[in-house]
Amino acid sequence: MTRRILTALSGLAVMLAALAPIANAGSPVDGTTLTPPVLPGTPCEADGRWVRCDTSSITTITNSPAFELPCGMFYETGTDDRHATRWYEDGLLHHRSVQAQYRATWSLSPTGDGPTVTVHGDWNWWVRFPTPGDESTQEITSHGNGLLIIGSKGEIRDTGIWYPDGSHHGLAPFSDSDMELLCELLQG
């Protein structure tokens, strides 16, 4: 009888040990104690061996000067919607991922009048930290439709995968001739 009780207790102990990480999963974690910390109020929770912190933001831009083109300053109006997740191990940032969706119109007019192009961007990137917790060691890989610019006379597409070493596979425009085409599209 004693042997059966000991066997049952040891089996119960093994089961409880196996369930311990599951019991902690989903437990809230104070993200300000992590390295680097997240903003106060950012939802963080235990997730197995990781602490996962999730953020979202939508930035709205209205007739904002973007940068100078050969044909003048262009202005953008649109939204930049991002969802990010950070994974911490032993309190140190290990990796993160971001999904982004950008929708806008671009114009050479500070009021948005005149010819415009529509712009779409759907991409994601993930960042790995060879030295966990040290953001200066980040290695970024980005993938997706970086930008699709559509005007009445054509389009420009920047798409593919970009690796941490700077190499790219896909279609990456924005040469001088692409800048000239963008000006043509913006001038109608």
Give me the pLDDT at residue 24, please.
Answer: 60
Q: How far apart are CA 48 and CA 32, in angstroms?
A: 19
**What residue has token string 């262009």?**
74
Signed CA dihedral, 128, 134, 136, 137: sign only: negative
User: Which residues of the chain have a pLDDT value below 70?
Assistant: 1-25
Q: Give the pLDDT confidence score for residue 97 in this predicted structure.
A: 97
Task: Give me the helices (H) in the chain, please.
Answer: 2-24, 176-186
Kindly list the distances between the CA atom of residue 25 and the CA atoms of 30, 35, 49, 90, 95, in Å, as whole numbers in the listed order. Answer: 14, 20, 9, 15, 19
* Angstrom distance (rounded) from CA 81 to CA 99: 8
d(CA 78, CA 75): 10
- With the C-alpha atoms ordered 69, 70, 73, 79, is the resulting torsion angle positive or negative? negative
pLDDT of residue 1: 52
The 10s digit of each residue's pLDDT in 27-79 is: 999 999 999 999 999 999 999 999 999 999 999 999 999 989 999 999 999 99
Classify burial at 124, counting beta carbons within 10 Å of its beta carbon; exposed 0-12, middle 13-18, buried 19 or more. middle
Domain ranges of the chain: 27-186
Q: Report residue 89 as tokens.
A: 């191990």
> What is the secondary structure of 131-142 as a DSSP string?
STT-GGG-EEEE
